[in-house]
Structure 1
Amino acid sequence: MPDLYSRRSFIAGVITAGMLSTATGYLLTRRTPVTLTLVTGGDATGGRSLLINLWNRFNPDVRLDVLTVNSSTRDQYDKFAGTRADIYNLDVIHIPRFAARGRIAPIDPPDGITLLAPVQRVSQVEEGSARLWAVPLNTDVGMLYRRITDKRATDAEPEIGRLVADRTQVRQLAAQLATEGSTTDEAFVINVLEQALAQDRTILDERGVVSTSLGQWQRALAPLAAALRDNRIVAVAGEEKTNAAFQERNLRYMRNWPVWFPAIDREERDKKPGTAAIRLGRLPIGVLGGQGLAVAEDTGYRDEAEAVIHFLTGMPAQKLLATYGFAPTASEAYNDPEVKAAMPHLEIVRSAVEDAHPRPMSAGYADFAQVFRQHTYDYLYRGVQLTDGFVEGMQGALR
């Protein structure tokens, strides 16, 4: 569909041009120029880098220097906390820990945006408060990709829990259900949580509270254990390897994040004549992801840092990041006619985000994830039954 991609590129160019005038609205002048440090993980798409370059182009007196710290989700807190910064780009699960340790300061969101409810909830200082610990840069939620080979055929959107339980579906689904160490552990935790939610919607609630019923966990994970035991799922470690398995093996289904959709969709259409389309479907309940920009408590340039964050997270920035595959955080971006025309798949992404559940939003999340990964991995792959020690370990980590 060259028209779709031409339009997407055109919209990206229009938004970028519009961002130039937006940047002038944040123009800051100082008698003594300063450089702010943004500590972040990598930027695989280039969208965030483009926004930062636009800021620097129009703010020579308040420049933003990006310090990329390579880390896994598991060790991000320690590495980020040990690095001097004015602004942190935090994974949502690290926001409570940074706040509890007094490392970040509350901030108001930029004008003109209405955050989607789950996105607002994981960042707000307290329930009902408009102030945030971190302004969401992008949100994220697990999605079910499916390959369409004949548009004339009936295309009922599948449900991942039924796919996993269906013994006739053999090795047609790729998901991050294997792990190769700390860099892929978090993806494994998220995917197992999503599989449990597909069987029992109450096992992790909308505020990230996990069930402490052992029997509930045993029932929720039993279909996944059976599918892995029977070798009916392509279990892969990490997002990139999941993409590779889906494409190289011509699998029908894949669980991954929506940010990969534009690249995968275009490559499939360009290189595989047998693929009529790649479509996105939602999970019954996905796990909420995303990143947020937070002001360091000890920065000497709080006003400047807040101006940078508002520029990088405002409505024009949300629209631009959407063209790079990111899921916007604000309802206004999803409602924008140009964005809807260029990226129609975002409508179902929005639906998935609005119903997504967060991981436990606690300063003890890292310990929870370690306990969860150890017990569920042993259960799924080594046949070690879940016991009271599993739920007690989760409770202890989150206490």
Structure 2
Amino acid sequence: MRLTPLVGAVAGLALVLTACGGGSDDEKKPAETKAVALEGRGPITFVTGKDTSGNLQKQIDAWNAGHPNETAKVIELSDKADEQRNSMIQNAQAKSDAYTVLNLDVVWTAEFAANRWIAELPEADLGVDKLLKPTVETGKYFNKLYALPADSDAGLLYYRKDLLTKAGITEAPKTWKDLFAACDTIKAKVAEAKDAGCYGGQFDKYEGLTVNASEAINAGGGQVVDGATGKPNVNTPEAKAGLDVLVNAFKDGHITKKAITYTEELGRADFQAGNLLFHRQWPYQYALAQDKKSSKVVGKFDVAPLPGVNGLGVSTLGGHNFAISEFAKNKATAVDFLKYMTSPEVEKANALVIGKAPSVAALYDDPEVVAKFPYMPALKTAIENAQGRPKAVKYGDVTTAIQEAAYGALTGKTTTDQALSDLQNKLVTLTAQ
């Protein structure tokens, strides 16, 4: 179904941004323990962002049916990652036992582990050898496992294949220049596309903007943090070339002005309504965009690698990890719940029903999964080679700095040069604290 296999993504390692927010690395390192002992059995809570699929409760119901004395209750938070994180931090700072199992964005692990808000997990008992290695590394801090990867993510370019075909374009664009040129050609030749927006991503001032800005910077050959030294290195011509793509696209209309408010769900709604030609989005959109009840683009779209400045771009490594609150009761039950929620059976259901990218490596070659989502084997390659966001003890400060710089440039409140200069100085200050 795809014109272009998802291969050739730029390889990258998870970046390490050291000791933000005071104290030495040793002071931030969790206390040494001889063994991980998580005890207590009984009811638990599972704290997660808003479930838009309706599939989660089915899995919880199945768990509860088999564990009548150790039932799990879902606590749904906001659909915005930043607000989810804030709610979890507030609960941890209050040392409340209201939250048991936490559904964490992959980049939160370092912060939550460093502050001892989550418990170290018994790695030898959790079968991590069956999981994609990059996903497991997102759950570690000082080489100890604090969170178990439940799903992964790599950004994809969704595009209206039907409209490209009508305009005489035979393959998905590999560069930004080709993408914007394709938009112009489609609008000139295809009447039904005249009023559609060209490109959308996640540009509201939240975690999605950190992802999109980082991908743009990486696509230009730049980087937020030097992978070799762990030091900020974002004020470069390459980073400017990448971020300028988005800045100029907002200026010339290739990115519609309303996209500055786009989160994942707002952009998805526009793409599924037929209002976008190209959309940067996570894999979960695929199944939803094929839903005949809610989507106008069923059978009309395809996916490809993200574009770059001079060739194919690079995705940010995404996904979610499950962790256990340090202050929770019934941690032994929580460990079993983690095993259940990350089992091949549950992850396969998540893949088939809502298109989530599994952390279980074998599922990318599962015939039933691949039959429904032909891009899965290539997505595995993309995840294995995706670029990570900076790991930071105080990740909230780091991502806020990235968002403010990028948002200022996209909205024209500052130049790209000034935005990157200010961001470099801010990150240097954070890493020096």
Q: Tell me if both proteins adopt one fold, taking TM over 0.5 as the criterion.
A: yes
In the TM superposition, residue 312 of structure 1 has moved relative to its aligned partner by 0.5
Query: Structure 1: how far apart are the matches of 2:296 and 2:396?
Result: 41
User: 8 Å contact 2:273–2:296 — kept in the other structure?
Assistant: no
Q: Compared with structure 1, are the counterparts of its residues 267 and 195 closer, same or farther at alpha carbon in structure 2 (3 Å cutoff)?
A: farther
| CA deviation vs aligned residue, 1:359-387 (integer Å, no higher than 9, x gap) | 11112221122222222222232252233
What letter matches 2:133 in structure 1? Answer: A
Q: Which residue of 2 aligns with 1:188?
A: 209
Work out whether 1:72 is the aligned partner of 2:95.
no
Check conservation: 1:113, 1:315, Cα contact below 8 A: no
Equivalent residues of 1:56, 1:62 under 8 A apart: yes
Preserved CA contact (<8 Å) 2:158 2:303 = yes
Q: Cα distance 1:225–1:369, how it changes in 2: closer, same or farther (>3 A)?
A: same
Which of residues 200, 211, 224 in structure 1 aligns to 2:233? Answer: 211
Which letter maps to 1:135? L
Deviation at 1:245, TM superposition (A): 2.5
Scaled by the length of structure 2, the TM-score of the pair is 0.74
Aligned residue for 1:149? Answer: 162
1:122 aligns with 2:147: no
Rounded Cα–Cα distance in structure 2 between residues aligned with 1:342 and 1:168: 29
Distance in 2 separating the partners of 1:319 and 1:341:
13
Q: In the alignment, which residue of structure 1 is the partner of 2:21?
A: none
Other-structure match for 2:302: 279
Greater alpha carbon shift after TM alignment, 32-41 vs 282-291: 32-41
Over the matched positions of the two proteins, sequence identity in percent amounts to 24
Give the letter aligned to residue 97 of structure 1: E
> Deviation per CA, 1:329-371, whole angstroms, max 9, x where unpaired?
1211112222222322322322221221121111222112222
Who is 2:247 aligned against?
225
Output the amino acid matched with 1:68: E
Q: Distance in 1 between the 2:55 and 2:233 partners?
A: 38
Aligned: 1:354 with 2:367: no
Q: Distance in 1 between matches of 2:70 and 2:147?
A: 20
Correspondence list, 1:59-98, <5 A: 59-70=67-78, 72-83=80-91, 84-98=98-112
1:154-192 Cα shifts (integer Å, max 9, x gaps): 64232253346649647753323542xxxx522222112
Question: SS in structure 2 opposite 1:145?
Answer: strand
Long gaps (5+) in structure 2: 2-39, 92-97, 188-195, 307-312
1:263 aligns with 2:288: yes
Q: Secondary structure at the match of 1:156?
A: coil
Q: Structure 1 residue 56 and structure 2 residue 64: aligned? A: yes
Letter of the 1:159 partner, please give it.
K
Confirm or deny: 8 A CA contact 2:153 2:383 kept in the other structure.
yes
- Give the direction of change, closer, same or farther, for the CA distance of 1:140–1:205 in structure 2 (3 Å limit): farther
Whether the 8 Å contact between 1:161 and 1:198 is mirrored in structure 2 is no
TM-score, length basis structure 1: 0.80
Contact 2:217 2:238 in 1 (8 A): no
User: Displacement, 1:134?
Assistant: 0.7
* Equivalent residue in structure 2 for 1:138, among 138, 142, 151: 151
Instruction: Supply the distance in 2 between the matched residues of 1:77 and 1:178 (Cα, whole angstroms).
Output: 19
SS at match of 2:72: strand
Q: Secondary structure at the match of 1:252?
A: strand
- In the TM superposition, residue 143 of structure 1 has moved relative to its aligned partner by 0.9
- Judged with a 3 Å threshold, the aligned counterparts in structure 2 of structure 1 residues 227 and 297 are, in CA distance, closer, same or farther, namely same
CA distance in 2, matches of 1:34, 1:135: 21
1: distance between equivalents of 2:393 and 2:376? Answer: 31
Amino acid at match of 2:249: A
| Secondary structure of the corresponding residue to residue 82 of structure 1 | helix
Structure ranking higher on relative contact order (CA contacts 8 Å, 6+ apart): 2
Task: Give aligned pairs, total.
Answer: 360
| Contact 1:114/1:332 (8 A) holds in 2 | yes
Residue range with higher mean Cα deviation, 105-114 or 299-308: 105-114
Residue type at the aligned position of 2:328: T
Counterpart of 2:335 in structure 1 is: 306
Partner of 2:127: 111
Note the alpha carbon deviations across 1:255-313, whole angstroms, 9 max, x for none: 111101112134399856xx753211122211122111111223332221101101101
CA RMSD of aligned residues (A): 3.0
1:177/1:232 CA distance change after superposition, 3 Å: same
Structure 1 counterpart of 2:337, one-letter code: V
User: Per-residue displacement from partner, 1:173-216 (whole Å, max 9, x unpaired)?
Assistant: 3323542xxxx522222112212222216556679875243444
**Using a 3 Å threshold, how does the CA distance of structure 1 residues 248 and 301 change in structure 2: closer, same or farther?**
closer
Q: For the structure 1 residues 381 and 190, does the alpha-carbon distance in structure 2 shift closer, same or farther, using more than 3 Å as the test? A: same
Task: Determine whether 1:38 maps to 2:51.
Answer: no
CA 1:45–1:71 in structure 2 vs 1: closer, same or farther (change >3 Å)? closer
Structure 2 CA distance for aligned equivalents of residues 256 and 167 of structure 1: 19
- Is the aligned partner of 1:295 residue 2:328? no
Q: 5+ unaligned residues in a row in structure 1: which ranges?
A: 2-31
Which residue identity does 1:373 align to in structure 2?
Answer: Q
Aligned partner of residue 171 in structure 2, secondary structure: coil
